[in-house]
């Protein structure tokens, strides 16, 4: 395939994923308590082999496959999409940088849906500027460290079974003094709390009060943790755009159906030029964003030199387009779309966060501008 077209196998796979998600995963999502880890849903992702798609044959998923997976799931069930993505985000550093022992201990549990993972980078005062993190890893005198500080806005916290945690070991200032650790949830001194967020999936804090970690818990090398984080984020950033496109396509489909069946002023809404032209513009923007996401993923898989720029462009356009599309779909539906439990009410809450996490819209613009002058 090219960056601009999917082959027949990919198209069929996406259709199969959407049907599977609607039939098997959406009912599990609908039964769950918002803001808590849905372990039956995670287990189903494992049983259906979808989590194994993130780590095919012990390797790393193709960025394009990850995008197709996230987009397809998001069209039918955002909770299933997010549960899958968070497993990948938390466990990919283990795959990419972990030891054989770390991989053997955790990856089978993650892919089976028995262990829930978290990616703990953000802090109360270090979100978009991740290199400013302050979680301290103080030497304990025995070759290990004690972690002290707080992580905030962490998906799956505090319920995750383990977290990839980034802390400052102080080899150098800024990004060069960060080390990545694999921290199981049962370590003494580790606690946290749920945050009441505009999100159906769990988000919380992790508090480290002298949490012991050793050399066996390091992912990669001491002082090189920021590279561990960036390798994971570079893989996942285009697929955040794919998640957004999945939501945008669901919203657009709902708006098209409603405009075709809802009558007003003597005919269906779709016959009003103001509505039909708005839908045409949205469909064009969604398709353009989708193709940009695919192109960024294909560039990542090809090892292109301009991946950072392409990924930033893809996330920027896709998340902003998704926000616009969901908002317009709500407007076309009117008050019914704001009723609790309506698809668009759900999407309206879901679509906001991707413009912030894994690099806010403003950060993506900064990356693009920097790359243009590189």
Active site residues: 358
Enumerate the H helices of 34-130 as residue ranges.
39-47, 63-76, 78-97, 100-112
| Partner residues linked to 194 by β-bridges | 204
Distance CA 132, CA 124 (A): 11
Q: Are 38 and 28 in contact (CB under 8 A)?
A: yes
Distance CA 241, CA 292 (A): 9
> Which H, E and C letters describe 254-323, residue by residue?
HHHHHHHHCEECCEEHHHCHHHHHHHHHHHHHHHHHHHHHHHHHHHHHCCCCCHHHHHHHHHHHHHHHHH
| Torsion angles phi and psi, residue 40, rounded to 5 | -60, -35
What's the half-sphere exposure (Cβ side, CA atoms, 13 Å) at 188? Answer: 3
- Measure CA 360 to chain center: 13
| Partner residues linked to 123 by β-bridges | 126
| Partner residues linked to 150 by β-bridges | 207
Cα–Cα nearest to 91, from 186, 42, 162: 162
For residue 126, count CB atoms less than 10 angstroms from its CB and return exposed for 0-12, middle for 13-18, buried for 19 or more: middle
| Torsion angles phi and psi, residue 152, rounded to 5 | -140, 155
Residue with tokens 């996401």: 293
* Element (DSSP H or E) covering residue 147: strand 145-155
Q: Are 113 and 44 in contact (CB under 8 A)?
A: yes
């Amino acid at each position: 395939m090219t960056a601009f077209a999917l082959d027949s196998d990919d198209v069929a796979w996406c259709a199969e994923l959407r049907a599977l998600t609607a039939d098997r995963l959406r009912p599990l999502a609908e039964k769950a308590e918002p803001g808590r880890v849905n372990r039956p849903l995670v287990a189903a992702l494992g049983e259906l082999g979808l989590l194994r798609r993130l780590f095919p044959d012990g390797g790393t998923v193709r960025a394009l496959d990850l995008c197709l997976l996230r987009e397809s799931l998001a069209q039918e069930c955002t909770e299933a999409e997010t549960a899958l993505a968070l497993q990948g985000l938390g466990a990919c550093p283990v795959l990419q940088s972990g030891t054989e022992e770390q991989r053997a201990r955790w990856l089978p549990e993650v892919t089976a849906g028995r262990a829930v993972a978290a990616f703990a980078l953000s802090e109360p005062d270090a979100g978009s500027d991740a290199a400013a993190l302050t979680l301290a890893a103080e030497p304990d005198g025995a070759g290990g460290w004690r972690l002290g500080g707080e992580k905030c806005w962490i998906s799956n916290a505090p319920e995750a079974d383990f977290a990839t945690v980034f802390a400052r070991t102080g080899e150098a200032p800024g990004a060069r003094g960060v080390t990545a650790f694999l921290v199981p949830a049962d370590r003494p001194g580790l606690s946290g709390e749920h945050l009441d967020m505009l999100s159906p999936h769990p988000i919380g804090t992790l508090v480290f009060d002298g949490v012991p970690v050793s050399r066996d818990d390091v992912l990669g090398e001491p002082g090189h943790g920021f590279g561990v984080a960036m390798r994971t984020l570079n893989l996942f950033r285009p697929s955040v755009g794919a998640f957004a496109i999945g939501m945008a396509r669901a919203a657009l489909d709902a708006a098209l159906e409603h405009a075709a069946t809802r009558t007003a002023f003597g005919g269906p809404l779709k016959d009003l030029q103001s509505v039909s032209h708005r839908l045409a513009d949205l469909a064009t923007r969604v398709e353009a964003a989708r193709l940009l996401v695919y192109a960024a993923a294909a560039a990542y898989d090809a090892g292109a030199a301009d991946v950072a720029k392409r990924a930033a462009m893809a996330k920027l356009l896709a998340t902003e387009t998704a926000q616009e599309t969901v908002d317009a779909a709500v407007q076309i539906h009117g008050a019914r779309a704001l009723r609790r439990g309506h698809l668009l009410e759900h999407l309206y809450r879901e679509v906001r966060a991707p413009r912030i996490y894994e690099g806010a819209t403003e950060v993506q613009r900064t990356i693009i501008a920097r790359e243009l002058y590189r």
